A = this chain, B = another copy of it.
Protein backbone atom coordinates (compact mmCIF):
# COMPACT_ATOMS: atom_id res chain seq x y z
CA UNK A 1 0.00 0.00 0.00
CA UNK A 2 1.43 3.35 -0.97
CA UNK A 3 0.48 5.14 2.21
CA UNK A 4 3.20 7.25 3.73
CA UNK A 5 6.10 6.75 3.17
CA UNK A 6 5.36 4.72 0.01
CA UNK A 7 4.75 6.31 -3.36
CA UNK A 8 2.60 4.93 -6.17
CA UNK A 9 3.83 1.91 -8.09
CA UNK A 10 3.46 3.71 -11.44
CA UNK A 11 6.66 5.59 -10.62
CA UNK A 12 8.59 2.34 -10.90
CA UNK A 13 7.73 2.11 -14.59
CA UNK A 14 9.33 5.45 -15.38
CA UNK A 15 12.93 6.55 -15.57
CA UNK A 16 14.02 10.10 -14.88
CA UNK A 17 16.13 12.33 -17.07
CA UNK A 18 18.40 10.15 -19.19
CA UNK A 19 21.36 12.32 -18.30
CA UNK A 20 20.93 12.08 -14.57
CA UNK A 21 23.52 9.36 -14.06
CA UNK A 22 26.18 11.64 -15.52
CA UNK A 23 25.38 14.71 -13.45
CA UNK A 24 27.95 14.24 -10.67
CA UNK A 25 30.85 13.87 -13.08
CA UNK A 26 29.51 16.66 -15.29
CA UNK A 27 29.33 19.03 -12.33
CA UNK A 28 32.85 18.08 -11.38
CA UNK A 29 34.16 18.96 -14.86
CA UNK A 30 32.47 22.38 -14.71
CA UNK A 31 32.94 24.89 -17.54
CA UNK A 32 35.59 22.83 -19.33
CA UNK A 33 33.00 20.19 -20.24
CA UNK A 34 31.71 20.61 -23.80
CA UNK A 35 28.11 19.50 -23.64
CA UNK A 36 27.15 17.61 -26.77
CA UNK A 37 24.63 15.37 -25.02
CA UNK A 38 21.60 17.65 -24.99
CA UNK A 39 19.49 18.75 -27.96
CA UNK A 40 19.70 22.49 -27.70
CA UNK A 41 21.21 25.42 -29.60
CA UNK A 42 23.90 27.69 -28.16
CA UNK A 43 22.54 30.88 -29.72
CA UNK A 44 20.01 33.18 -28.12
CA UNK A 45 16.98 33.60 -30.39
CA UNK A 46 18.02 35.54 -33.50
CA UNK A 47 14.67 37.35 -33.76
CA UNK A 48 13.69 40.36 -31.62
CA UNK A 49 12.25 39.66 -28.17
CA UNK A 50 10.50 42.17 -25.89
CA UNK A 51 12.80 41.32 -22.99
CA UNK A 52 15.11 43.81 -21.30
CA UNK A 53 18.78 43.40 -22.28
CA UNK A 54 19.76 43.51 -18.63
CA UNK A 55 17.54 40.49 -17.89
CA UNK A 56 18.95 38.45 -20.76
CA UNK A 57 22.51 39.30 -19.73
CA UNK A 58 21.84 38.41 -16.12
CA UNK A 59 20.14 35.11 -17.05
CA UNK A 60 21.88 34.05 -20.28
CA UNK A 61 20.29 30.59 -20.15
CA UNK A 62 16.75 31.98 -20.24
CA UNK A 63 16.10 30.38 -23.64
CA UNK A 64 17.72 26.98 -22.98
CA UNK A 65 16.60 23.71 -21.47
CA UNK A 66 17.14 23.85 -17.73
CA UNK A 67 17.58 21.37 -14.89
CA UNK A 68 14.19 19.63 -14.67
CA UNK A 69 14.29 20.05 -10.89
CA UNK A 70 14.34 23.81 -11.41
CA UNK A 71 16.77 26.62 -12.10
CA UNK A 72 19.19 27.20 -9.27
CA UNK A 73 18.55 30.91 -8.70
CA UNK A 74 14.79 30.42 -8.28
CA UNK A 75 15.11 27.39 -6.01
CA UNK A 76 17.49 29.34 -3.79
CA UNK A 77 15.16 32.37 -3.61
CA UNK A 78 12.15 30.14 -2.92
CA UNK A 79 13.96 28.17 -0.22
CA UNK A 80 14.58 31.43 1.61
CA UNK A 81 10.92 32.41 1.14
CA UNK A 82 9.55 29.05 2.30
CA UNK A 83 11.82 29.01 5.34
CA UNK A 84 10.84 32.51 6.41
CA UNK A 85 7.24 32.87 5.34
CA UNK A 86 6.04 29.27 5.67
CA UNK A 87 8.48 28.18 8.40
CA UNK A 88 9.40 24.94 6.68
CA UNK A 89 12.84 23.42 7.25
CA UNK A 90 13.98 23.53 3.65
CA UNK A 91 17.03 23.88 1.44
CA UNK A 92 16.82 24.46 -2.36
CA UNK A 93 16.79 20.65 -2.73
CA UNK A 94 13.29 20.61 -1.20
CA UNK A 95 11.87 22.92 -3.88
CA UNK A 96 10.75 21.87 -7.37
CA UNK A 97 9.21 24.44 -9.72
CA UNK A 98 6.21 23.08 -11.65
CA UNK A 99 3.91 24.26 -14.43
CA UNK A 100 1.57 26.00 -12.01
CA UNK A 101 0.06 24.56 -8.84
CA UNK A 102 -2.06 22.54 -11.27
CA UNK A 103 0.92 20.51 -12.43
CA UNK A 104 2.20 20.11 -8.85
CA UNK A 105 -1.18 18.73 -7.77
CA UNK A 106 -1.38 16.41 -10.77
CA UNK A 107 1.99 14.79 -10.14
CA UNK A 108 1.19 14.60 -6.43
CA UNK A 109 -2.02 12.69 -7.06
CA UNK A 110 -0.41 10.43 -9.67
CA UNK A 111 2.68 9.93 -7.54
CA UNK A 112 0.82 8.95 -4.40
CA UNK A 113 -2.23 6.98 -5.51
CA UNK A 114 -2.29 3.48 -6.89
CA UNK A 115 -5.35 2.36 -8.87
CA UNK A 116 -8.39 1.97 -6.62
CA UNK A 117 -6.94 3.94 -3.74
CA UNK A 118 -8.82 6.80 -2.16
CA UNK A 119 -7.96 10.40 -1.48
CA UNK A 120 -9.99 12.32 1.09
CA UNK A 121 -10.87 15.63 -0.51
CA UNK A 122 -11.98 18.32 1.91
CA UNK A 123 -14.72 20.21 0.09
CA UNK A 124 -15.66 22.59 -1.34
CA UNK A 125 -12.52 21.99 -3.43
CA UNK A 126 -10.84 23.20 -6.58
CA UNK A 127 -12.70 21.35 -9.35
CA UNK A 128 -9.75 19.91 -11.26
CA UNK A 129 -8.43 18.00 -8.26
CA UNK A 130 -11.25 15.45 -8.54
CA UNK A 131 -10.27 14.79 -12.17
CA UNK A 132 -6.60 14.46 -11.23
CA UNK A 133 -7.43 11.72 -8.74
CA UNK A 134 -9.56 9.97 -11.35
CA UNK A 135 -6.83 10.35 -13.99
CA UNK A 136 -4.57 8.50 -11.53
CA UNK A 137 -7.21 5.73 -11.33
CA UNK A 138 -7.92 6.77 -7.75
CA UNK A 139 -11.19 7.62 -6.04
CA UNK A 140 -11.86 11.07 -4.61
CA UNK A 141 -13.84 10.78 -1.36
CA UNK A 142 -15.59 14.06 -0.69
CA UNK A 143 -15.61 15.41 2.86
CA UNK A 144 -17.83 18.50 3.26
CA UNK A 145 -15.63 20.67 5.41
CA UNK A 146 -14.76 24.34 5.01
CA UNK A 147 -18.35 25.57 4.90
CA UNK A 148 -19.05 23.59 8.10
CA UNK A 149 -16.24 25.41 9.87
CA UNK A 150 -17.96 28.73 9.22
CA UNK A 151 -21.00 27.30 11.00
CA UNK A 152 -19.09 25.39 13.67
CA UNK A 153 -15.50 26.54 14.25
CA UNK A 154 -15.26 24.05 17.15
CA UNK A 155 -16.03 21.02 14.98
CA UNK A 156 -14.23 17.92 16.30
CA UNK A 157 -12.29 17.53 13.07
CA UNK A 158 -10.41 14.37 14.05
CA UNK A 159 -13.59 12.40 14.79
CA UNK A 160 -15.39 13.91 11.85
CA UNK A 161 -12.69 12.82 9.39
CA UNK A 162 -12.68 9.28 10.77
CA UNK A 163 -16.13 8.73 9.25
CA UNK A 164 -14.62 8.96 5.78
CA UNK A 165 -11.53 6.82 6.08
CA UNK A 166 -11.23 3.31 4.63
CA UNK A 167 -8.42 0.76 4.32
CA UNK A 168 -7.83 2.16 0.86
CA UNK A 169 -7.31 5.78 1.90
CA UNK A 170 -3.82 6.91 0.95
CA UNK A 171 -3.89 10.70 0.99
CA UNK A 172 -5.78 13.75 2.22
CA UNK A 173 -6.15 16.89 0.10
CA UNK A 174 -6.22 20.08 2.07
CA UNK A 175 -6.52 23.66 0.82
CA UNK A 176 -6.04 26.66 3.05
CA UNK A 177 -6.78 29.49 2.37
CA UNK A 178 -9.67 27.69 0.70
CA UNK A 179 -10.88 28.23 -2.82
CA UNK A 180 -13.88 28.69 -3.09
CA UNK A 181 -15.10 29.32 0.48
CA UNK A 182 -12.47 31.86 1.56
CA UNK A 183 -11.99 29.88 4.79
CA UNK A 184 -8.57 30.13 6.45
CA UNK A 185 -7.76 27.29 8.82
CA UNK A 186 -6.51 28.28 12.24
CA UNK A 187 -3.81 26.51 14.22
CA UNK A 188 -6.14 24.26 16.21
CA UNK A 189 -8.03 23.14 13.12
CA UNK A 190 -4.90 22.42 11.13
CA UNK A 191 -3.38 20.61 14.10
CA UNK A 192 -6.27 18.15 14.13
CA UNK A 193 -5.90 17.46 10.42
CA UNK A 194 -2.18 16.85 10.94
CA UNK A 195 -2.88 14.55 13.89
CA UNK A 196 -5.37 12.63 11.79
CA UNK A 197 -2.93 12.25 8.88
CA UNK A 198 -0.14 11.10 11.20
CA UNK A 199 -2.38 8.67 13.06
CA UNK A 200 -3.56 7.06 9.81
CA UNK A 201 -0.26 7.47 7.93
CA UNK A 202 -1.88 9.45 5.16
CA UNK A 203 0.06 11.64 2.79
CA UNK A 204 -1.04 15.26 3.06
CA UNK A 205 -1.39 17.19 -0.18
CA UNK A 206 -1.41 20.76 1.08
CA UNK A 207 -2.65 23.13 -1.62
CA UNK A 208 -1.43 26.58 -0.60
CA UNK A 209 -2.14 28.41 -3.85
CA UNK A 210 -3.56 31.31 -1.80
CA UNK A 211 -0.49 31.45 0.42
CA UNK A 212 -0.44 34.86 2.09
CA UNK A 213 -3.86 35.97 0.83
CA UNK A 214 -5.43 36.34 4.26
CA UNK A 215 -7.31 39.26 5.77
CA UNK A 216 -7.99 40.95 9.10
CA UNK A 217 -4.71 40.04 10.75
CA UNK A 218 -4.98 36.32 10.12
CA UNK A 219 -1.92 34.19 9.43
CA UNK A 220 -1.56 31.59 6.70
CA UNK A 221 -0.29 28.38 8.27
CA UNK A 222 1.48 25.60 6.37
CA UNK A 223 0.67 22.05 7.42
CA UNK A 224 4.24 20.93 6.80
CA UNK A 225 5.44 23.33 9.52
CA UNK A 226 3.59 21.35 12.19
CA UNK A 227 5.71 18.94 14.25
CA UNK A 228 6.70 15.78 12.36
CA UNK A 229 4.61 16.73 9.34
CA UNK A 230 7.26 17.86 6.86
CA UNK A 231 8.22 14.38 5.56
CA UNK A 232 4.57 13.41 5.16
CA UNK A 233 3.42 16.51 3.28
CA UNK A 234 3.55 17.72 -0.31
CA UNK A 235 3.12 21.51 -0.13
CA UNK A 236 1.93 23.22 -3.30
CA UNK A 237 2.39 26.91 -4.15
CA UNK A 238 1.87 29.10 -7.21
CA UNK A 239 2.76 32.39 -8.88
CA UNK A 240 -0.81 32.75 -10.17
CA UNK A 241 -2.38 34.42 -7.12
CA UNK A 242 -0.40 36.82 -4.89
CA UNK A 243 2.12 37.21 -7.75
CA UNK A 244 -0.75 38.10 -10.14
CA UNK A 245 0.84 36.07 -12.92
CA UNK A 246 -1.40 33.14 -13.88
CA UNK A 247 -0.18 33.69 -17.45
CA UNK A 248 3.24 32.43 -16.42
CA UNK A 249 1.96 28.94 -15.52
CA UNK A 250 4.49 28.56 -12.74
CA UNK A 251 4.19 27.07 -9.30
CA UNK A 252 6.33 24.93 -7.00
CA UNK A 253 6.21 21.80 -4.94
CA UNK A 254 7.92 21.51 -1.55
CA UNK A 255 8.74 18.06 -0.15
CA UNK A 256 11.57 15.78 0.84
CA UNK A 257 14.15 15.59 -1.93
CA UNK A 258 13.69 11.87 -2.75
CA UNK A 259 9.94 12.45 -3.12
CA UNK A 260 10.55 15.37 -5.49
CA UNK A 261 12.98 13.30 -7.54
CA UNK A 262 10.37 10.60 -7.91
CA UNK A 263 7.56 12.98 -8.83
CA UNK A 264 9.97 14.66 -11.25
CA UNK A 265 9.81 11.48 -13.36
CA UNK A 266 6.11 12.13 -13.92
CA UNK A 267 6.75 15.78 -14.71
CA UNK A 268 9.51 15.20 -17.27
CA UNK A 269 7.19 12.87 -19.19
CA UNK A 270 4.38 15.44 -19.12
CA UNK A 271 6.29 18.58 -20.06
CA UNK A 272 10.03 18.06 -19.38
CA UNK A 273 10.22 21.07 -17.04
CA UNK A 274 8.33 24.28 -16.35
CA UNK A 275 9.62 27.20 -18.38
CA UNK A 276 13.14 28.33 -17.43
CA UNK A 277 12.23 31.78 -18.80
CA UNK A 278 9.32 31.92 -16.36
CA UNK A 279 11.57 30.72 -13.55
CA UNK A 280 14.21 33.39 -14.19
CA UNK A 281 11.46 36.04 -14.44
CA UNK A 282 10.33 35.29 -10.88
CA UNK A 283 13.71 35.37 -9.11
CA UNK A 284 13.55 39.12 -8.41
CA UNK A 285 9.84 39.26 -7.45
CA UNK A 286 10.36 36.48 -4.88
CA UNK A 287 13.23 38.38 -3.33
CA UNK A 288 11.30 41.68 -3.25
CA UNK A 289 7.94 40.20 -2.19
CA UNK A 290 7.83 42.16 1.07
CA UNK A 291 7.90 45.41 -0.90
CA UNK A 292 4.80 44.84 -3.00
CA UNK A 293 2.67 41.89 -1.81
CA UNK A 294 1.02 43.49 1.22
CA UNK A 295 -0.50 46.27 -0.91
CA UNK A 296 -2.08 43.72 -3.24
CA UNK A 297 -3.53 41.68 -0.37
CA UNK A 298 -4.87 44.88 1.17
CA UNK A 299 -6.50 45.76 -2.16
CA UNK A 300 -8.13 42.31 -2.21
CA UNK A 301 -9.39 42.97 1.31
CA UNK A 302 -11.00 46.19 0.07
CA UNK A 303 -12.64 44.26 -2.76
CA UNK A 304 -13.79 41.65 -0.25
CA UNK A 305 -15.41 44.42 1.81
CA UNK A 306 -17.09 45.77 -1.30
CA UNK A 307 -18.70 42.34 -1.78
CA UNK A 308 -19.70 41.71 1.82
CA UNK A 309 -21.23 45.18 2.04
CA UNK A 310 -23.11 45.08 -1.25
CA UNK A 311 -24.07 41.47 -1.89
CA UNK A 312 -27.73 41.15 -0.80
CA UNK A 313 -27.65 37.40 -0.19
CA UNK A 314 -26.60 35.73 3.07
CA UNK A 315 -22.92 34.76 2.88
CA UNK A 316 -19.94 34.31 5.17
CA UNK A 317 -17.21 36.91 5.17
CA UNK A 318 -14.21 35.41 3.33
CA UNK A 319 -11.17 35.21 5.58
CA UNK A 320 -8.76 34.92 2.67
CA UNK A 321 -8.49 34.26 -1.12
CA UNK A 322 -10.52 36.39 -3.52
CA UNK A 323 -13.69 34.31 -3.51
CA UNK A 324 -17.11 34.31 -1.92
CA UNK A 325 -19.09 31.05 -1.98
CA UNK A 326 -22.72 30.96 -0.95
CA UNK A 327 -25.95 29.05 -1.39
CA UNK A 328 -28.63 30.58 -3.59
CA UNK A 329 -31.29 28.08 -2.53
CA UNK A 330 -33.16 30.81 -0.70
CA UNK A 331 -33.22 32.94 -3.85
CA UNK A 332 -34.65 30.41 -6.30
CA UNK A 333 -38.34 31.29 -5.76
CA UNK A 334 -39.46 28.37 -7.88
CA UNK A 335 -36.72 28.73 -10.45
CA UNK A 336 -34.31 25.92 -11.25
CA UNK A 337 -30.68 26.46 -10.15
CA UNK A 338 -29.37 26.39 -13.74
CA UNK A 339 -32.06 28.80 -14.84
CA UNK A 340 -30.69 31.33 -12.35
CA UNK A 341 -27.09 30.82 -13.56
CA UNK A 342 -28.35 31.41 -17.06
CA UNK A 343 -30.21 34.53 -15.97
CA UNK A 344 -26.98 35.82 -14.43
CA UNK A 345 -25.27 35.40 -17.81
CA UNK A 346 -28.19 37.12 -19.54
CA UNK A 347 -27.85 39.99 -17.06
CA UNK A 348 -24.13 40.20 -17.89
CA UNK A 349 -22.36 38.47 -15.00
CA UNK A 350 -20.70 35.06 -15.03
CA UNK A 351 -20.42 32.99 -11.86
CA UNK A 352 -18.90 29.56 -11.16
CA UNK A 353 -21.46 26.82 -10.45
CA UNK A 354 -21.18 25.21 -7.02
CA UNK A 355 -21.46 21.56 -8.00
CA UNK A 356 -18.05 21.75 -9.64
CA UNK A 357 -16.60 22.20 -6.14
CA UNK A 358 -18.25 19.14 -4.62
CA UNK A 359 -21.51 17.23 -4.79
CA UNK A 360 -22.79 18.90 -1.61
CA UNK A 361 -22.68 22.34 -3.18
CA UNK A 362 -25.16 22.02 -6.02
CA UNK A 363 -27.06 25.11 -4.87
CA UNK A 364 -23.98 27.30 -4.30
CA UNK A 365 -22.24 29.76 -6.54
CA UNK A 366 -18.71 31.13 -6.37
CA UNK A 367 -17.78 34.64 -7.34
CA UNK A 368 -14.25 35.99 -7.68
CA UNK A 369 -13.93 39.57 -6.48
CA UNK A 370 -10.46 40.35 -7.85
CA UNK A 371 -10.85 39.48 -11.53
CA UNK A 372 -12.54 42.71 -12.53
CA UNK A 373 -11.94 46.36 -11.61
CA UNK A 374 -13.85 47.71 -8.57
CA UNK A 375 -16.14 49.66 -10.90
CA UNK A 376 -17.10 46.61 -12.91
CA UNK A 377 -17.35 44.49 -9.75
CA UNK A 378 -19.93 46.94 -8.44
CA UNK A 379 -21.92 46.68 -11.67
CA UNK A 380 -21.75 42.88 -11.40
CA UNK A 381 -22.98 42.92 -7.80
CA UNK A 382 -25.97 45.08 -8.78
CA UNK A 383 -26.80 42.68 -11.60
CA UNK A 384 -26.37 39.68 -9.31
CA UNK A 385 -28.57 41.19 -6.59
CA UNK A 386 -31.23 41.89 -9.19
CA UNK A 387 -31.20 38.36 -10.65
CA UNK A 388 -31.05 36.66 -7.25
CA UNK A 389 -33.94 38.79 -6.00
CA UNK A 390 -35.92 37.57 -9.02
CA UNK A 391 -36.43 41.07 -10.34
Contacts and interface: CB of A to CB of B under 8 A. Distances in A.
Interface string A337-357: 000001001101111110010
B247 A64 contact: yes
Interface centre among A40, A291, A353, A379 (most CB of B within 10 A): A40
Nearest to A273: B249
A383 to B, nearest CB: 7
Interface centre among A41, A49, A248, A342 (most CB of B within 10 A): A41
Nearest to A41: B370
Contact of A50 (B99, B103, B281): B281
Contact of A36 (B54, B131, B380): B380
19 contacts: A18-B127, A18-B352, A22-B350, A33-B348, A33-B349, A35-B371, A36-B368, A37-B350, A37-B366, A42-B370, A43-B244, A46-B244, A61-B247, A62-B247, A65-B246, A99-B249, A102-B268, A249-B275, A271-B271
Interface of A: 10, 13-15, 18-19, 22, 25-26, 29, 32-52, 54-55, 61-66, 99-100, 102-103, 106, 127-128, 131-132, 134-135, 179, 240-241, 243-250, 265-266, 268-278, 281, 284-285, 288, 291-292, 295-296, 299-300, 322-323, 342, 345-346, 348-353, 356, 366-373, 376-377, 379-380, 383-384
B100 A271 contact: yes
B277 A248 contact: yes
Contacts of A369: 36
The 8 closest A-B pairs by CB, nearest first: A50-B55, A34-B380, A50-B52, A247-B276, A99-B271, A37-B350, A36-B367, A249-B275
A15 B50 CA distance: 37
Contacts of A322: 39, 41
B36 A351 contact: yes
A277 B383 CA distance: 32
A42 B106 contact: no
Contact of A372 (B29, B36, B65, B296): B36
Contacts of A370: 40-43
A323 B48 CA distance: 26
B268 A128 contact: yes
Given A22-B345, A369-B36, A270 B271 contact: yes
A271 B45 contact: no
A241 B383 CA distance: 50
Given A64-B246, A249-B275, A296-B46, A34 B352 contact: no
A85 B291 CA distance: 48
Contact of A102 (B131, B271, B367): B271
Contacts of A134: 13-14
A346 B278 CA distance: 34
Given A14-B134, A43-B244, A371 B36 contact: yes
B29 A345 contact: yes
Interface centre among A33, A51, A270, A380 (most CB of B within 10 A): A270
A45 B244 contact: yes
A373 B32 CA distance: 13
A299 B376 CA distance: 53
